Amino acid sequence: MNEQIKDVVAKTGLPTIDKELWWPRQAMKNGNWQNAVQRWAILRQVYPEKPAVWIQAAVSHRHLGQLDAADSLLTSARERFPEIPGPLLEQATLRCDQGRYDEAGQLVAETRGRFPEELSVMLASARVAARAGNLSEALTFNREARERFAEAPEPWLQHAELAMEVDEWSLALDRWREVRERFPKHAEGFTRAADAAQAMGNESLARQLRLAQEYGNAWLESVQNGEEGEEEAPHTINPPQRRDWRTFVDLVWTKARLNLKSEASQNHLRYLWWILDPLLYMAVFYVVFGILMERGGPGFIAYLLTGLVPFQWFRKTVQQTSNSIVGGKGLMHKVRISPLFFPLVGIVQNTGKQMLVFAMLGIFLILYGLPPTIHWLAIIPIVLVQLLLMTVVSCTLAMMVPFARDLTNLIPTGIQFLLFTSGIFYTIDRIPEEWRSLFFTNPMANILYQYRQVFVENQWPDWSGLGCVALGCTLGLGLVVFLYRRLEPIFPRVVIE
């Protein structure tokens, strides 16, 4: 989620799953149905056992006019969750949208037989009857709901809405007044009554009702009784329209976060493995090279690990993301989403885990006798440049693999080649002077050299060398984005061939 949404969600105090379901529901609330479809599709991969990810996804498809997709989701939901009425009721609504009112009536009748004590079933029965043009039957169902569930606002709201649907504005105003008396804090008692008043041509009453939403029933009664009251325009805060790139970043961030959570849930130690894994990794090299083999002389273990740890980040990210577009073909054919989404999710996912690895490396270096200095601040731009490099490499390979599947067999070999040509196991002074310029044309070798300048040599990095890598990666990223936009319509067809 983006930062604004995360701040709001953190204040809700809801359980984690409720926060995640809140994410697509916010898009539905704002009328962003395409975004909602994408978000429900992502959550459906992580929480297929939750009814909402099926039912509400169908609602979103229905609002987009994608009735077949909605029907398919609801059919699956009925099979998965026979113990709840939601899929049946939503399918009845869908049948009404399709003009198949007899089938809709059969569905709600079946639901009433199976769930006779559910308020939602009575409301849906009234709603379907009204849409079929049988107002008297709709009122019968609604009256039963009001009698059996007198303390719930929904039956009373529906009672007023039934009058609105047949343009009985005066009757609707009476019913909305009853709603306000029973449920004074319910906004629709004011806003929908204002709509009815406006439909009657009574602009003054409509304005009073909208103001009464802020000032309350007592103020409304005083105005209607002729008493003076202050009439200040209520303040309405509309959320800013979100740009496309922010929505895309939101999708990438949330999918990566859910992947991390799913990955952690597969282990008994859960997130603790993210700490144990780098500790064990560094311990192995310390024991083998530092104790058993006694290779490299003083400080060699620190030199070795400051190269291996960043390279492992590069290796894991590139290997995981290279086949990500092919692996995401299922989601790509369900919702319209940029193929760039798939490699970026893997990059963000591995970056989140790598932050803990760098923390473990820092602790190791301190215990090894290399305390932090002011030069450690330079790690931030170095990490950002490496992240930029991995983005370009990962997205490029992910773009190429759908067109040349055999490339996946060459990627591990290429990474192994980089492992031995990036100066991880040997120092720069072992390379002949005439070959060093060629050596540093390898961007990973350049970046690993910068890490060692900071961690091992306690010096500032070679800013000119780091800047050259950053410039090259920035140009490469621009080209990658351009190619993805050109190839976006082609990917869905290519990945299934």
Q: For 99-130, what is each residue's pLDDT tens digit?
A: 999 999 999 999 999 998 899 999 999 999 99
Cβ neighbourhood burial of 72 (10 Å; 0-12, 13-18, 19+): middle
Q: For 269-328, what is each residue's pLDDT tens digit?
A: 677 777 787 778 777 877 776 666 655 566 778 888 888 889 999 999 999 999 899 888
Q: Tell me what percent of the residues of the chain surpass a pLDDT of 90.
A: 43
d(CA 263, CA 255): 12
Q: For 343-352, what is each residue's pLDDT tens digit?
A: 999 999 999 8
Q: For 213-266, what is each residue's pLDDT tens digit?
A: 655 555 555 555 554 444 433 333 333 344 467 778 888 888 888 888 777 677
The whole-number pLDDT of residue 66 equals: 92
The whole-number pLDDT of residue 231 equals: 40
Give the C-alpha distances (Å, rounded to integers) separating 184 from 192, 205, 332, 385, 487: 13, 18, 46, 57, 55
Question: Looking at residues 359-372, what average pLDDT do you find?
Answer: 88
What's the CATH fold of domain 3-224?
A: 1.25.40
Give the count of alpha carbons within 13 A of 17, CB side only: 10
Domain definitions of the chain by residue range: 3-224, 267-494
CB contact set of 484 (below 8 Å; sequence gap of 6+): 338, 339, 340, 395, 399
Enter the pTM of the model: 0.66
Whether the predicted pLDDT of 143 surpasses 90 = yes
219 and 229 Cβ atoms separated by less than 8 Å: yes
d(CA 489, CA 497): 14
